[in-house]
Amino acid sequence: MKRFYIETFGCQMNAHDSEKVIGTLVGRGYEQVATPEAAELIMYNTCSIRDKAEQKVFARLQEFKRHHAGKTFAVLGCVAQQEGEKIFEKAPHVSMVVGSASYNRLPELLVQIERGDKRVTGLSLDTEDTFETPLTRRDNPHKAYITIIEGCDKSCAYCVVPFTRGPERSRTLESVLREARELVQMGYTEIQLLGQNVNSFRDPAIPGSELGHDFAYLLRRIGEVPGLRRVRFTTSHPRDFVKDIVDAIDENPVLCNHIHLPVQSGSTAVLSRMQRLYTRDDYLRRLQWMHSAKREIAITSDLIVGFPGETEAEFAETMSLLDHGRYESMYIFKYSRRPNTPALQYEDHITEEEKTRRFLLLQEKQRAMQIRQNAELLNRVEEVLVEGWNLATNQWIGKTSQNRTLNFLHPQGREANLLGQYAQARVTRTGPSSMGGEAA
Ligand code: 5AD
Ligand code: SF4
């Protein structure tokens, strides 16, 4: 059993976990294959953020069973942690269930599987460890992820993450910097720092947390790594988002001028029921910091509609928040009840139709704003990192520092060989979510 196939759902944290899992397996002599047909071990890294994501998992596990009977199946990630040994009952063909807080036990668990054990679990959340691997298989040739903090100590009333990813654990600044330098040596110029709440990073190597060895300090230090051109980060929590982060971005163009700052609701009353630990006004102040920065910062966010008890007036406050945010883009979700979460105490009385109505109202308003805002970008020259070539339109696919997609024509077309390069492009066409242009 030496060939494995892995399939990944969920957030960037999961995507990067899979890269580290692949590194760990390859380091033990396993070979990664591109299809489940070619594999003896099938791994499935799962997400449980909303009910739909979780439903998918069991449907997919049944499919695997139908087509690949007799192989070894492993369930990783958030559904693994949440459902634990219940997965063996619902899907008896699964032999291994491992949550992300136990990935550093993978080598040992693999030995048990190789020995022929039929039920192997790694489900402890009681950990201070982070998942460090000597080897990480990076999927994207242009952008590399670096985890800086794992887990989450907040208790947002709707959210499973504190139950699926365990307590907050920061890596040391030194190991993060070492990884960044190694990535530059490997040829990467863009890195993305990852964590459920990067803003609460504190260097565990420095005793006492008030010494300034916080997230803004880390950003400044990473921004100085020679050879790095772009540093991004996700995700931020407004409670721990301090103005010093905006100042750090203002000081150093290597730090990308894009911030994802999930707001969830524009109503203080809803935020309080959500246990978000900030008010509408606190959030507006953070918008103000970003809007008055010297560099133009693109802001994106997440919203939940239909949280229990959300009245029409409370929803109207979320609608009006969009005017203040002037968001680059917005991810909108319908509230979904999750196991273990504090919000289970409330009845989920808002109907699916009503959630959909609110969802569409927000979506339509945001889309209209994006069309208007993006039209102002016409004729601008932007620096883009070229990430691909679009065969259908004969355009290079570029990303700006603000994380906007700018597809552009080049006089030499594909011959220009721009992949992985930085190029200047003038915006000649704008739409709600991407822009078109030509090499400048
Ligand atoms: N229902 C709906 N959306 C949710 N999110 C997190 N938990 C839930 C839930 N139970 C959304 C939040 C979060 C994003 C990643 O997913 O907006 O920021
Ligand atoms: Fe899904 Fe959250 Fe787990 Fe990421 S951390 S995979 S979004 S449940």
Closest ligand by atom to 236 CA: 1
* DSSP states of 104-157: GGHHHHHHHHHTT-S-EEE-----------S----S-SSEEEEE-EES-----T
CB-based burial of residue 226 (10 Å sphere; 0-12 exposed, 13-18 middle, 19+ buried)? exposed
Sign of the alpha-carbon dihedral angle for 430, 433, 437, 439:
positive
Question: How far apart are the C-alpha atoms of 246 and 217, rounded to whole Å?
Answer: 12
What's the confidence (pLDDT) of residue 48? 97
Which of 165, 198, 302 should be mutated for ligand 2, with most atoms under 8 A from CB?
165
Per-residue tens of pLDDT for the chain, all 440 residues? 699 999 999 999 999 999 999 999 999 999 999 999 999 999 999 999 999 999 999 999 999 999 999 999 999 999 999 999 999 999 999 999 999 999 999 999 999 999 999 999 999 999 898 998 888 888 888 899 999 999 999 999 999 999 999 999 999 999 999 999 999 999 999 999 999 999 999 999 987 655 678 999 999 999 999 999 999 999 999 999 999 999 999 999 999 999 999 999 999 999 999 999 999 999 999 999 999 999 999 999 999 999 999 999 999 999 999 999 999 999 999 999 999 999 999 999 999 999 999 999 999 999 999 999 999 999 999 999 999 999 999 999 999 999 999 999 999 999 999 999 999 999 999 999 999 999 99
What's the confidence (pLDDT) of residue 422? 97
Tell me the pLDDT tens digit for each residue of 124-170.
999 898 998 888 888 888 899 999 999 999 999 999 999 999 999 99
Closest ligand by atom to 49 CA: 2
Question: How does DSSP classify residue 307?
Answer: -
What's the confidence (pLDDT) of residue 1? 66
Centre of ligand 1 from the C-alpha of residue 320, in Å = 20
What's the confidence (pLDDT) of residue 211? 63
- CA 330 to chain centroid, in Å, comes to 14
Question: How far apart are the C-alpha atoms of 39 and 303, rounded to whole Å?
Answer: 39
Contact 256, 304 (CB under 8 A): no
Centre of ligand 2 from the C-alpha of residue 161, in Å = 6
Closest ligand by atom to 265 CA: 1
What's the confidence (pLDDT) of residue 390? 96
164: Cβ contacts below 8 Å, ≥ 6 apart: 48, 77, 78, 79, 81, 82, 99, 100
Centre of ligand 1 from the C-alpha of residue 150, in Å = 18
Centre of ligand 2 from the C-alpha of residue 89, in Å = 23
For residue 289 and ligand 1, the question of a CB distance below 6 A is answered with no
For residue 265 and ligand 1, the question of a CB distance below 6 A is answered with no
Helix (H, G, I), strand (E, B) or coil at 408: strand
Q: Which residues line ligand 2 (CB under 6 A)?
A: 10-11, 13-14, 47-49, 77-78, 160-161, 164-165
Does the predicted TM-score (pTM) go above 0.75? yes
Q: What are phi and psi of 73, to 5 degrees?
A: -115, 135
What's the confidence (pLDDT) of residue 206? 86
What's the confidence (pLDDT) of residue 139? 84
437: Cβ contacts below 8 Å, ≥ 6 apart: 382, 406, 407, 408, 409, 425, 426, 427, 428, 429
Question: How far apart are the C-alpha atoms of 347 and 276, rounded to whole Å?
Answer: 19
Centre of ligand 2 from the C-alpha of residue 124, in Å = 17
What's the confidence (pLDDT) of residue 210? 58
Output the CA angle 269-273-274, nearest 5 degrees.
110
What's the confidence (pLDDT) of residue 140? 85
Centre of ligand 2 from the C-alpha of residue 413, in Å = 39
Helix (H, G, I), strand (E, B) or coil at 95: strand
